[in-house]
Amino acid sequence: MTARFRNPTGGSVDRSRTCRFTFDRQSLRGFAGDTLASALLANGVHLIGRSTKCRRPRGIFTAGPEEPNALGTLDPGDRQIPNVPLTVAPLADGLVFASQNRWPSLRFDLSSIAGVAGARFGAGFYYKTFMWPAWRWYEPLIRGLAGLGCAPKIGVDRPPRERHLDCDVLVVGGGAAGLSAARAAASRGAKVVLCEQDSSLGGELQFETATIDGRASSRWLIDSERELRVAGVELLTGTAVVGCYDDLLLALCQPAGYPGEADELLHIRAAARVLATGATERAIAFAGNDRPGVMLLGAVERFAARFAVRAGNEAVLFANHDRVYCAAQRLREAGIRIAAIVDPRARPELAVLEELERGGVRICNEQVVEQVLGGHRVSGVIVRHRDGVGTPTRISCDVLGASGGWTPALQLATQSGLAQRYDAQLGAFIPVSESATVIPAGAARGKLELAAALADGTAAGAVAATAAGRDAAPAERPALVSADPAPAVMPFWRVVGGDEKRQFVDLQNDVTVSDLRQAVAEGFREIEHVKRYTALGVGTDQGKTSGLPGAAILAEFLGKPLAEVGVSRPRPPTRPIPLGVLAGFRGAPGTVRPVRHTPLQADHVADGALMEPAGLWLRPRYYRDHGESLAAAAEFEAQRVRAAGGLFDASTLGKIEVAGPDAAAFLDRIYLARPSGIGIGRARYCVMLREDGMVLDDGLVLRLAAQHFLLTTSTHAAAAVLSHLEYHAACSAAELAVSCTDVTDAWAVIVVAGPRTRQLLRKVLPPAQWREPLEQLRHMDFHCGKWQSRPLRLLRASFSGELAYELHCAADAAPPLWRALRRHGAPDGVIPYGLEALDILRVEKGYLTSAEINGQVSPYDLRLDDMVKRSAPCIGSGLLARPALHEPSRPILVGLVAADATARLDAGAQLIAAARSTQSLGHVTSAVWSPALGRAVGLALLAREFAAHDREVVAADPLRARYTKARVTAAVHFDPTGERMRL
Amino acid sequence: MLISCPFCGEREVAEFEFRCTLEERGATAAERLYFRLADPRRSLEHWQHVRGCRMWLELHRDLRTGRVLRTASVPVPPADGTGS
């Protein structure tokens, strides 16, 4: 059964394929080829949602991506997609979507009825109420009302593909101008890509009936598309260019019309770009112009021509140009009765007027629509003389097609750096063509008539091809066109008089003429300020239909010409992009983002480790067999290391070899602590600074030979440290002969820690070669040898405070070595441990990680004064004398111990002097439950003036409402003399 | 943005990493760090072809247009960062 408002013939929908869909639990039918909006209109559904502030009933206003009103939530539920413009999203069988901004239901919205919304949200509402104490009362109410739609609870699980395109000429827009530009450029041998945001080409030609070179415009479209394909032009329909950045354009391909699995993010680089983005029809402000059933004239036409859908049975048209009369003829042919045409201008000399009058259409020249009647749907209009003389008349209708002229779509031209100027005849701004590589064309440059648009496109295509280095070719013969006459627009922005609080300028943000008047009264003068104060044009539609009328009305109130007031700057994205699309591949399974595994990955997984991402790496967080929860397992592992022993995979540490005759001198410039003084076979804990004196990273420096060093870095800083070394080798130390090589992946590192370490290593390492080093290595000594004929470096160093060795082995030897250690260690109770246990052990010992070395600390803040004293002048040391680095308010590293044995400390908590204090003295950088001390302990950066030992502070975590009393201590909580690691 | 690496040729900016702008004037590190001229027409910068040959490059860039005016490898040792 055909829906009530669908014509039996016409349009480009596929009547053989019925699509069932559900809107707010209502089951409806449409056809393949429909948009959600056209399918709803075909069923006579006009009430689509409620406005965000005033909760007024709203309908479908446009037929394209400029839609401010008809936004819906697709697939309501955990993965729902909010704010989908129904005028763009294509219909599919089984689709479920819902209206937005209503509670409890669309027809009956409590907040609109109670009047809590509405008039109270005037201009600058937020600025006036976002203040204590009033905000305290408003907040719960506003939080419930604020926002458009609701975000999904589950993120995008199918990230879009990304594609990089290179071409000579990119044509944005597949209307008359864009198609001719593409053809002209391609005929000169240019490689051309054409992006059209709509699912099919044609733009206005989809409904404007015209003849081009003797062919019907529909035929011309089909022929053009075929010719372009033959010429090798890449035609990307359903692809909107959303932003221009330097010489790159970002386009979003959504063949499905809404974020889904087939999305593609395109990065397009073009030698020249033709911007044939067309013009957007603009609204007129009059009372009740937001009622469902009030639409742009072009939308009524498009629904009729493309979808064979009548937006109503009886229409009133309200426009300030000649094209409305041609449109009226076409709408009558589509079966819509035209009750009246209201035109504020004097009667134009057009033959079509008499024809319309003979057909019973009432022509109301010099008249305006004063008010729209109706609730959830237009039921009629009140028409009066534009100067208010005479008696208003009431005309019944169920749809009102309004049109205030056309605004060239300037977004991409402005983003490309083109200036704009006001064109008085058009009543709009047009881009100034000043660039050889960015060429606006057609309606985007104010060429609204078909013949002019075609010619302009052809010329633009030729210029673009030349700019891209293609040969100039003889000019083409202009097409012979018969189409609508020039529209003869008379700028007309609002109906003067009446209730200005009901005269909407920006439908999405409920900005009315009254709001603009108020903004001016409150002293706002600049369009950008008014935009921010009133929210004019800040919505997902970016004010495409409302921006210019808003600026014009502002100009009127300011008594300035519109040319001087200007329009607000359109910024990318030109249409909404889900953040998931931009985030792209990050972390999604099955994508190209690399994951780094240590050589022991398989062993960790087999042992039941929970693997945690750290940058690109995966590292074991804890082993599930070791406890029922993360905390239990971590505590068990940490205790076991102190009681017996543990194995830890430290292969993710950055490892860089530095070699060359000047290696030692080079490292003296890089590190504090003068690495040139390290003996061969010895290691030293060293810290490097940034140029500004802040600590960049710490690690061990091993001297392998006189001119050969190995540096270890933190896992996360490995890449930055390598670049830092290479930079100084190339720049500040260019006279030194040195080379830096990243060997991170070549070497695995297994840490064996705990009191039973030495007896375990005696079992695993062949005594012939290893007994002597094992017995003799002092803290920070290392020995190089072989294990199973693969290189092995045994370094005695500890990050746990226990007797510990790092076994640096060739990556391929790591799994057998790990398994041997596991096998021989198991009877003694030696187990593998993860990052959580590592964190407990190192916090107990006051060792540092990136939580403390956070880019904002000097070596003095970390109590490394002795190391600074021993250093040669090195990178950053010159700036350590800055007085501000030594002020009493500057934080310094301290330990914290929870005062109460059962209390917890939270990393990130602010330190305050007493419970009610609001002044932060520092923050907790790391906090753990210490099994060794039986208490929560932590490390903190605390203002020097408060850092005296035994002082009591409060660790405040207001978000979790936890306030823990803690005592300031030395950073080393456990075994302060370090006896255990010297066993 | 495309950057012409003297070793590898023209490559996408994603292969490079920016490190710093250079200020040729200023005797001490503090002056170079904190008192910059910041001429937008001719920004002198150090970049590394980090996902390529790893060489360090000196770029002259017009910040108003994003155009790279000139690229060279870093042979010239500029003033070091020791503040001495």
Whether the CB-CB separation of A400 and A316 falls below 8 Å is answered with yes
Closest CB from B2, B29, B56 relative to A691: B29
Bond before A573 cis per omega within 30 degrees: yes
d(CA B46, CA B79): 13
B24 in reach of chain A (CB within 8 A)? no
Q: Per-residue pLDDT for A162 more than 90?
A: no
Cβ neighbors of A178 (< 8 A, separation 6 or more) are A171, A172, A194, A196, A203, A274, A276, A441, A442, A457
Cβ neighbors of A676 (< 8 A, separation 6 or more) are A664, A665, A667, A668, A872
Helix (H, G, I), strand (E, B) or coil at A384: strand
Angle at A704 between CA A698 and CA A708, to 5 degrees: 85
DSSP letter assigned to residue A765: S
Domain, as residue range, for B12: 1-38
- Please list the residues that pair with A423 across neighbouring strands: A428
Token pair for residue A907?
Answer: 């990393």
Token pair for residue A281?
Answer: 């029809």
Q: Which residue of B has its CA nearest to A691?
A: B81
pLDDT for B28:
74
Helix (H, G, I), strand (E, B) or coil at A175: coil
Whether the CB-CB separation of A115 and A121 falls below 8 Å is answered with no
Structural domain total, chain B: 1
Instruction: Give the pLDDT band of residue A121 (cuts 50, 70, 90).
Output: low
Closest CB from A723, A727, A877 relative to B82: A877
Closest CB from A247, A731, A873 relative to B82: A873
Q: Per-residue pLDDT for A697 more than 80?
A: yes
A629 phi, psi to nearest 5 deg? -130, 170
Distances (CA, A) of A972 to A843, A860, A925, A937, A977: 8, 17, 14, 10, 9
- A727: which chain B residues are within 8 Å (Cβ-Cβ)? 19, 46, 48, 56
Q: Which CATH fold topology does A654-742 show?
A: Alpha-Beta Plaits (3.30.70)
Is the model more confident about A111 or about A552? A552
Query: Mapped to the 3 state alphabet, what secondary structure does A270-296 carry?
Result: EEEEEECCCEEECCCECECCCCCCEEE
Question: For residue A951, with 0-12 CB atoms within 10 Å meaning exposed, 13-18 middle and 19 or more buried, which class applies?
Answer: middle
Q: What is the pLDDT of residues B5-60, one digit of tens each?
A: 999 999 989 899 999 888 766 677 677 767 777 788 888 899 999 999 999 999 99
* Residue A780 CA neighbour count, 13 Å, CB half: 13
Query: How many percent of chain A have pLDDT more than 90?
Result: 75
Closest CB from A723, A727, A878 relative to B29: A878
User: Would you call B82 and A878 a contact, using CB atoms and an 8 Å cutoff?
Assistant: yes
CATH of A283-404, one of 3.30.2010.10, 3.50.50.60, 3.30.200.20, 2.120.10.80: 3.50.50.60
d(CA A217, CA A100): 39
Q: Per-residue pLDDT for A961 more than 90?
A: no
Q: What is the pLDDT of residues A815-873, one digit of tens each?
A: 999 999 999 999 999 999 999 999 999 999 999 999 999 999 999 999 999 999 999 99
Q: Per-residue pLDDT for A256 more than 80?
A: no
Cβ neighbors of A606 (< 8 A, separation 6 or more) are none
Q: What is the pLDDT of residues A461-486, one digit of tens each?
A: 999 999 999 877 776 777 788 888 88
- DSSP secondary structure of A654-673: EEEEEESTTHHHHHHHHBSS
B29 in reach of chain A (CB within 8 A)? yes
pLDDT for B29:
67
Burial A129-148 (b: 16+ CB within 10 A, else e): eeeeeeeeeeeeebeeeeeb
Q: Is the pTM of this model over 0.80?
A: no
pLDDT for B83:
35
Helix (H, G, I), strand (E, B) or coil at A176: helix
What H or E segment, with its residue span, contains residue A127? Answer: helix A125-129
d(CA A777, CA A413): 70
A419 in reach of chain B (CB within 8 A)? no
Q: Which of A895, A900, A913 is nearest to A969 (CA)?
A: A895
- Measure the CA dihedral A508/A569/A194/A468, to 10°: 180
Q: Per-residue pLDDT for A525 more than 80?
A: yes
d(CA A694, CA A688): 9
B14 in reach of chain A (CB within 8 A)? no
Is the model more confident about A157 or about A222? A222
For residue B81, give how far its alpha carbon lies from the nearest alpha carbon of chain A (Å).
5
For chain A, the average pLDDT equals 91
Q: What is the pLDDT of residues A329-354, one digit of tens each?
A: 999 999 999 999 999 999 999 999 99
Whether the CB-CB separation of A591 and A258 falls below 8 Å is answered with no
Distances (CA, A) of A279 to A243, A293, A403, A480, A632: 17, 23, 13, 23, 64
DSSP letter assigned to residue A959: G
d(CA A223, CA A587): 45
CATH of A601-651+747-833, one of 3.40.50.300, 3.90.1150.10, 3.30.1360.120, 3.10.20.30: 3.30.1360.120
Whether the CB-CB separation of A874 and B82 falls below 8 Å is answered with yes
Quote ipTM for the complex: 0.88
Q: Which residue of A has its CA nearest to B82?
A: A875
- To test the contact with chain B by mutation, choose from A731, A738, A877, A882 the residue with the greatest count of B C-beta atoms within 10 A, namely A731
Q: Per-residue pLDDT for A585 more than 80?
A: no
A742 in reach of chain B (CB within 8 A)? no
Q: Per-residue pLDDT for B82 more than 60?
A: no
pLDDT for B78:
46
For residue A579, give how far its alpha carbon lies from the nearest alpha carbon of chain B (Å).
20
A/B interface, count of CB pairs below 8 Å: 70
CATH 1.10.10.1100 holds for A499-572: yes
- A719: which chain B residues are within 8 Å (Cβ-Cβ)? 50
Maximal CA-CA distance, chain A: 115
d(CA A125, CA A276): 38
What separation, in Å, do the N-terminal and C-terminal C-alpha atoms of chain B show? 37
User: Tokens 């061969």 correspond to what residue?
Assistant: A680
User: Which residues 877-906 on chain A approach chain B with CB closer than 8 angstroms?
Assistant: 877-879, 882
B25 in reach of chain A (CB within 8 A)? no
Helix (H, G, I), strand (E, B) or coil at A728: helix
Is the model more confident about A522 or about A123? A522
Helix (H, G, I), strand (E, B) or coil at A333: helix
For residue B55, give how far its alpha carbon lies from the nearest alpha carbon of chain A (Å).
8
Q: Which of A264, A268, A270, A257 is nearest to A582 (CA)?
A: A264
B40 in reach of chain A (CB within 8 A)? no
- A246: which chain B residues are within 8 Å (Cβ-Cβ)? 1, 66
pLDDT for A143:
64
pLDDT for A815:
98
Please determine whether the domains at A161-279+408-482 and A283-404 fall in the same fold group of CATH: yes
Alpha carbon A851 to its chain centroid, in Å, reads 27
Q: What is the pLDDT of residues A365-418, one digit of tens each?
A: 999 999 999 989 999 999 999 998 889 999 999 999 999 999 999 999 999 889
B78 found inside a domain: no
B71 found inside a domain: no
Distances (CA, A) of A312 to A4, A257, A334: 10, 26, 11
d(CA A501, CA A642): 74
B28 found inside a domain: yes
Angle at A726 between CA A724 and CA A731, to 5 degrees: 95
For residue B28, give how far its alpha carbon lies from the nearest alpha carbon of chain A (Å).
9
User: Would you call A731 and B46 a contact, using CB atoms and an 8 Å cutoff?
Assistant: yes
Cβ neighbors of A263 (< 8 A, separation 6 or more) are A160, A161, A252, A253, A254, A256, A581
pLDDT for A134:
65
d(CA A487, CA A295): 19
Phi-psi category of residue A318: left, alpha or beta, with phi > 0 → left and psi -120 to 50 → alpha: beta
CATH code of domain A161-279+408-482:
3.50.50.60
B61 found inside a domain: no
Token pair for residue A357?
Answer: 């009058």
Closest CB from A246, A723, A732 relative to B81: A732
d(CA A537, CA A553): 14
B13 found inside a domain: yes
Cβ neighbors of A573 (< 8 A, separation 6 or more) are A242, A243, A250, A252
Domain boundaries, chain A: 1-157, 161-279+408-482, 283-404, 499-572, 601-651+747-833, 654-742, 881-982
Is the model more confident about A941 or about A2? A941
Q: Per-residue pLDDT for A117 more than 70?
A: no
pLDDT for A206:
83
Helices of type H across A502-613:
513-521, 527-534, 547-558, 562-565, 579-583, 601-606
Distances (CA, A) of A955 to A131, A900, A945: 28, 12, 17
B72 found inside a domain: no
The amino acid at A703:
R
Cβ neighbors of A8 (< 8 A, separation 6 or more) are A2, A308
User: Would you call B83 and A877 a contact, using CB atoms and an 8 Å cutoff?
Assistant: yes
A723 in reach of chain B (CB within 8 A)? yes
pLDDT for A122:
73
DSSP letter assigned to residue A163: E
- CATH says A881-982 is which class? mainly beta
d(CA A271, CA A467): 7
Helix (H, G, I), strand (E, B) or coil at A963: strand
Q: What is the pLDDT of residues A24-68, one digit of tens each?
A: 989 999 999 999 999 999 999 999 988 888 888 999 999 999 999
Distances (CA, A) of A508 to A61, A66, A142, A353, A425: 11, 11, 17, 35, 28
pLDDT for A982:
84
User: Tokens 């002056």 correspond to what residue?
Assistant: B31
For residue A247, give how far its alpha carbon lies from the nearest alpha carbon of chain B (Å).
6
**Strand-by-strand arrangement of the A393-396 sheet:** A367-374, A378-385, A393-396
CATH architecture assigned to A1-157: Roll (3.10)
User: Would you call B77 and A878 a contact, using CB atoms and an 8 Å cutoff?
Assistant: no
Highest mean pLDDT among A145-149, A237-241, A295-299: A295-299
- Going by their DSSP bridges, the two strands A57-58 and A49-50 should be labelled as antiparallel
